[in-house]
Amino acid sequence: MRYLFLLFLKAVSVTFYRHDTRWITPQPPPPWDDLRLLAFVHHTSLFEWLFVAAAPNHLLKRVAQRGMVPIAQKTYDRPLVGRFYKVLAPEMVPISREPDHTWEAVMRRVDPHSMVVIAPEGRMMRANGLDSKGKPMTVRGGIADILRAIPSGRMLVAYSGGLHHVQVPGQHFPKLFKEVRMAIEIVDIAEFKAGLGVDPADKAFKSAVKNELERRRETLCPPQPPAPWPK
């Protein structure tokens, strides 16, 4: 049923929106195999499920069967939105966004065979470019914990072009027939960690992961339409 629901969402997305999805680097052969972590960077709207249009059906099936998604307790508890998101993956784990027992519950579920879907920033960007508390949109350290727990496999990093032209947090209804943009890269997890030059057991590993993902976000996220893609 989850898989069928994801296929339905994909059909809705393709019907009502124009999608421009580009690979940052050439697709590795085959691009969707051995994925252990899906990191969605530049979190701007609860309507980011629209990006399922870029995923092949067999990836959606794997998410429906094995996906584990940390989700903010605030979102999880909302009567309609929370119920919607609970259908998307078999393990939707509510978290408080703090390094407490709720995050420990997430880490207990992560193993070398997990399929984890996470928004590394941990909260949404508001219309002013900041989070709901007026703070910059930094990457949180939770993704570093997950990378420590997954020794190998691939990480898909999806860079959103932003969806404030479709729905700004707080608005009830999205605007239809807009263009949505995303850039994608597939990263070997072991190579990514080695490239940081910091032992995963070291305390500095979290900062290294955060800094690297923020650097990539600033350079690789496509601009929100109607601004043109950089050449």
pLDDT for the residue 99: 84
Query: E strands within the chain?
Result: 18-23, 35-41, 67-72, 91-95, 115-118, 154-160, 179-188
pTM listed for this prediction:
0.94
Share of the chain above pLDDT 90, in %: 86
Phi, psi of 61 (to 5 degrees): -65, -40
What's the CA gap between 156 and 176, in Å, rounded? 27
Average pLDDT of the residues of the chain: 94
* pLDDT class of 172 with cuts at 50, 70, 90: confident
Flag whether pLDDT at 231 surpasses 80: no
* pLDDT class of 212 with cuts at 50, 70, 90: very high
Instruction: Summarize pLDDT for 33-50 with one digit per residue, the tens.
Output: 899 999 999 999 999 999
Instruction: Summarize pLDDT for 60-81 with one digit per residue, the tens.
Output: 999 999 999 999 998 999 988 9
124 with 47: CB under 8 angstroms? no
Tell me the domain boundaries of the chain.
2-220
* pLDDT class of 28 with cuts at 50, 70, 90: confident
- Which is nearest to 19 in space by CA: 225, 211, 188, 192? 225
Element (H, E) at 207: helix 205-220
Share of the chain above pLDDT 70, in %: 100
Average pLDDT over residues 95-102: 87
Q: Domain 2-220, what fold?
A: Glycerol-3-phosphate (1)-acyltransferase (3.40.1130)
